[in-house]
Structure 1
Amino acid sequence: MSQAAQNLNWLITNFVDNTPGVSHTVVVSADGLADQLAAVASGLTSLTAGASRIFEGGAVNQTVVEMERGFLFLMSISDGSSLAALAHPEADIGLVGYEMALLVDRAGTVLTPDLRAELQGSLLN
């Protein structure tokens, strides 16, 4: 695993470990092909962007889905991929959103086309 991949892994692990209420986080590609969560995240991100265009709402900063047993947070990363985080129902959604925004900024500088290709290749092997 390259240093860049290790750095991204550290950023994501640190976010989950240090943000109260967050149980899982994953970076998903825009095509949503990796797994079921990737497809859901990609689809929701696309739907909210489409709704924003229709209503002339500007860029979508964050999508939050409130469920009976928790929250799903989505944020776009500069390269077109998305960050998805699952949080417990007791989580402070303001704190989770804030910490996610910081992570998206950091991940956006790390997630280069070469790193994306490396990570996608590791899923196929």
Structure 2
Amino acid sequence: MTSAVVTEDGLTDALNDLVDRVHGAEFAVVLSPDGLPLGGSRRVGAKLAEQISGVVAGLIALGLAATRTCDAGRLRQVVVQMSRAFLFIATIPNGTILTVRIAGDDVEVGDMAYEVALFVGQAEQHLPITLGPASSVTIGDTGAHQRRH
């Protein structure tokens, strides 16, 4: 089995840059495919990372259920709109999960959506992760290929 390798400084810098680029962005966290915090931007302590991990696990489970029910392919993103904030949760092709919180009355949600998509597209630069045998089942696996055979 190959273990995960993360360059923490590079990941922290990338997450800080992401948060700095969008007005109102408060924090960003990257989680492993099994929900363990791999890194966070400034202002992300161990307690917040644990809380986000639990919330994201539940939201990802709901998103996966929706993809199976709708036979709609891979889960790419979950966005939670609250009265004073948005939570963006995006799956990264290598199985990791990006979570970003943006808050404020004058935030540009479109700007954050763009930056999240950009980060996901360039994630391998910051997340050189090699997964072991469990990598054959990714977050976006709906099991549709099994139902058709």
The answer on 1:58 being equivalent to 2:73 is: yes
The answer on 1:93 being equivalent to 2:104 is: no
- Equivalent in the alignment of 2:25: 22
Task: Please tell me whether the aligned partners of residues 6 and 128 of structure 2 are also in contact (alpha carbons under 8 angstroms).
Answer: no
Deviation at 1:9, TM superposition (A): 1.4
Name stretches of at least 5 consecutive residues in structure 2 with no aligned partner: 38-49, 131-149
Q: CA RMSD in A?
A: 2.1
Identical aligned residues as a percent: 33
Deviation at 1:5, TM superposition (A): 2.4
Which contiguous aligned blocks of 4+ residues in structure 1 show a shift greater than 3 angstroms? none
Q: Describe the superposition over 1:5-43 as per-residue Cα deviations: whole angstroms up to 9, x where unpaired.
A: 222111111010111121111111232355121111122
- Equivalent in the alignment of 2:14: 11
Q: Identify the match of residue 88 of structure 2 among 73, 96, 115.
A: 73
C-alpha distance in structure 2 between counterparts of 1:21 and 1:69, whole Å: 11
Larger Rg: 2
Q: Are residues 61 and 113 of structure 1, via their aligned partners in 2, closer, same or farther at CA, if it must alter by over 3 Å?
A: closer
Q: What code does the residue aligned with 1:48 have?
A: G
Matched residue SS, 1:113: coil
Matched residue SS, 1:12: helix
C-alpha distance in structure 2 between counterparts of 1:41 and 1:3, whole Å: 20
Matched residue SS, 1:68: coil
C-alpha distance in structure 1 between counterparts of 2:76 and 2:34, whole Å: 19
TM-score norm. by structure 1 comes to 0.78
C-alpha distance in structure 2 between counterparts of 1:62 and 1:49, whole Å: 10
Task: Please tell me whether the aligned partners of residues 42 and 82 of structure 1 are also in contact (alpha carbons under 8 angstroms).
Answer: no
C-alpha distance in structure 2 between counterparts of 1:21 and 1:6, whole Å: 23
Structure having the larger proportion of residues in helix = 1
- Equivalent in the alignment of 1:113: 129
State the aligned residue count. 113
- Equivalent in the alignment of 1:48: 63
